[in-house]
Amino acid sequence: MKAARLKELGVPAGIGVDAALGGVKQAMKSGQTVEDVEQAILAVVDAPKLLTEDEVWGNLARTIVRVTEARARFSGRDEAAPWQQWGDNFEPAAIDQMAQACKLPISVAGALMPDAHVGYGLPIGGVLATDNAVIPYAVGVDIACRMKLSVLDLLVPDIVAYQEDLIEALEKETRFGTGCTFKPGRQHEVMDDPAWEEIPILRKHHNKAAKQLGTSGGGNHFVEFGVLEVLSEDLGIGRGKYVAMLSHSGSRGTGEKVAKHYSALARQLHPELPEELSHLAWLDMDSPEGREYWQAMELMGRYSAANHELIHKHVVDHLGCEVLAGVENHHNFAWKEAHKGREVVVHRKGATPATNGVLGVIPGSMATSGFVVRGKGNEEGLNSASHGAGRAMSRVEAERRFTWAEANEFLKKKKVHLVSGGLDEVPMAYKDIEAVMAAQEDLVEQVARFEPRLVKMAPSGKVSSRRRKERQQRKRK
């Protein structure tokens, strides 16, 4: 049974739905039909106080009572925290999510970046400063998702001349797709961090995390080679054209488990939040839960950095070249920063840190420009910028609307060789990166422009997992 149906039946969103799903599972196991289950849920919703001791539905009944009482006591704030947007090419729902986030009692200020689109709780491209509280879903599911660019001592024509070697390096030295691992795993001292032992959710996933070190994952993640046109002296290598390698990856499966674990915990601690705020449940920074999340989040930060470090090290070693310069940054993370003289927690969910003088990387798409940028320290913009061009449509919509014939035409025109990737990631599915950059001229300065030439991404998710299953089934036979 889906969450939407449970809400139709009157189950409160968030922990109400969580509790209901538990009951549904139990009832279905004991052989009840969907109709029986729906009747039972209606009865609980109608009179939860009568059913708090019920064997199957007691937890749902108690949760509804708790949520109802807490929400009755909750009163929103009189005035939302101030926020501004950069650009005007947004879905109304993304703007609404930003506005809702600023109504949280803990919110201090917000900023919506020009690549923003709808996400869980806070939009992707949303920045939120809070007072002594951290919101797991305002950091994002892929905690510490990160960009890393290395300038290599190759010549621009080498991208074509040594194309086969570059492809081989990508194929052998990282992995793509949901659930991908290295066997045997890559080695890195980040795996010896004491936090893996101290925090149960980390201990549980330590093994998987070890196997996923150095992998790139799926979705919009990629590793690519391209031409970097350096426009300023910031990188310390002089102006001109260079070959660079750019990777986009994060904390893989472990980060997701951490995000979901603490978000569920935060929701349990905040039954008072109305439905539209329920995905924005927070943890107090002074509470044991908040401190533990922060510790886990920071480890995910070091883990993600190690991930990129290994990808670059192994690819560079494979090619036998040298690294001349580099830039890297998280774009799903939270930081303790000063805002207008006050210490706040700044959540950047799909947003690049852009404190004055700080360098960052903003990718476009597989066949449009990316940028190395220098922050301008715009205080109203919460020292942030976009983390890319931003999706112009959903993945499903992109798969429906475009064909590979069109996409290949685009790639050919831009001289991009796509080793693998999904139709849901084609450039036409993204907003215009030039317009996005123009909308944030007061947030960042352009330091270099990057043109992708040789790109590897995960092949389209659903297809590959179906094929994997079919292969496994064939093996069994």
Task: Tell me which residues are annotated as active site.
Answer: 387
Q: Tell me whether residue 163 is exposed, middle or buried, using C-beta atoms within 10 angstroms of its C-beta: 0 to 12, 13 to 18, 19 or more.
A: middle
Contacting DNA (CB under 7 A), which of 113, 129, 141, 299?
A: 141
Residue 168 CB, shortest distance to DNA, in Å, is 23
| For DNA, the closer CB: 117 or 417 | 117
Contacting DNA (CB under 7 A), which of 171, 193, 256, 275?
A: 256
Residue 69 CB, shortest distance to DNA, in Å, is 31
- Give the whole-angstrom CA distance, residue 418 versus residue 454: 6
- Give the whole-angstrom CA distance, residue 39 versus residue 35: 6
| For DNA, the closer CB: 169 or 458 | 458
* Contact string 175-214 vs DNA (x = CB under 7 A): ---xxx---------------------------x---x--
Residue 328 CB, shortest distance to DNA, in Å, is 17
Contacting DNA (CB under 7 A), which of 63, 130, 249, 440?
A: 249
Using rule CB under 7 A, residue 250 touches DNA: yes
Contacting DNA (CB under 7 A), which of 117, 175, 186, 221?
A: 221
- Of the candidate spans 94-102, 215-223, 318-326, 448-456, the one that interacts with DNA by CB under 7 A turns out to be 215-223
Using rule CB under 7 A, residue 252 touches DNA: yes
- Give the whole-angstrom CA distance, residue 117 versus residue 391: 7
Q: Which residues between 455 and 474 bind DNA (CB under 7 A)?
A: 458, 461-462, 465, 469
| For DNA, the closer CB: 51 or 398 | 398
Using rule CB under 7 A, residue 142 touches DNA: yes
| For DNA, the closer CB: 25 or 412 | 25
Residue (of 107, 106, 178) closest to 142 by Cα position: 178
| For DNA, the closer CB: 249 or 440 | 249
Q: Which two structure tokens, joined as six digits, stand for 113?
A: 């970046």
- Give the whole-angstrom CA distance, residue 173 versus residue 28: 46
Residue 237 CB, shortest distance to DNA, in Å, is 30
Count of all residues that appear for the chain in the document = 477
Q: Which helix (H) or strand (E) holds 476?
A: helix 461-476
Q: Is residue 340 classed as helix, strand or coil in its secondary structure?
A: coil
| For DNA, the closer CB: 62 or 314 | 314
Q: Which residues between 73 and 112 bind DNA (CB under 7 A)?
A: none
| Beta-sheet pairing, 444-457 with 417-420 | parallel
| For DNA, the closer CB: 75 or 472 | 472
Question: Which residues fall within 8 angstroms of residue 220, CB to CB, at 6 or more apart?
Answer: 248, 388, 425, 457
The one-character DSSP state at 365 is: B
Tokens 């969103």 belong to residue: 13
Q: Which residues between 319 and 378 bind DNA (CB under 7 A)?
A: none
Residue 378 CB, shortest distance to DNA, in Å, is 26
Q: How many other C-beta atoms can be found within 10 angstroms of the C-beta atom of residue 336?
A: 12
- Of the candidate spans 52-60, 108-116, 138-146, 298-306, the one that interacts with DNA by CB under 7 A turns out to be 138-146
Q: Which helix (H) or strand (E) holds 58?
A: helix 58-73
Total residues contacting DNA (rule CB under 7 A)? Answer: 26
Q: Phi and psi dihedrals of 433, rounded to 5?
A: -60, -30
| For DNA, the closer CB: 217 or 271 | 217
- Give the whole-angstrom CA distance, residue 349 versus residue 362: 14
Between the CA of residue 154 and those of 19, 246, 317, 323, what are the distances in Å?
Answer: 57, 14, 13, 9
Using rule CB under 7 A, residue 218 touches DNA: yes
Using rule CB under 7 A, residue 220 touches DNA: yes
Using rule CB under 7 A, residue 431 touches DNA: no
* Chain centroid, CA 462 distance in Å: 19
- Give the whole-angstrom CA distance, residue 273 versus residue 70: 8
DSSP 283-334: EETTSHHHHHHHHHHHHHHHHHHHHHHHHHHHHHHHHT--EEEEEEEESEEE
Q: Which residues between 14 and 53 bind DNA (CB under 7 A)?
A: 25
Using rule CB under 7 A, residue 253 touches DNA: yes
> Which positions touch DNA (CB under 7 A)?
25, 141-142, 145, 178-180, 208, 212, 217-221, 249-250, 252-256, 458, 461-462, 465, 469
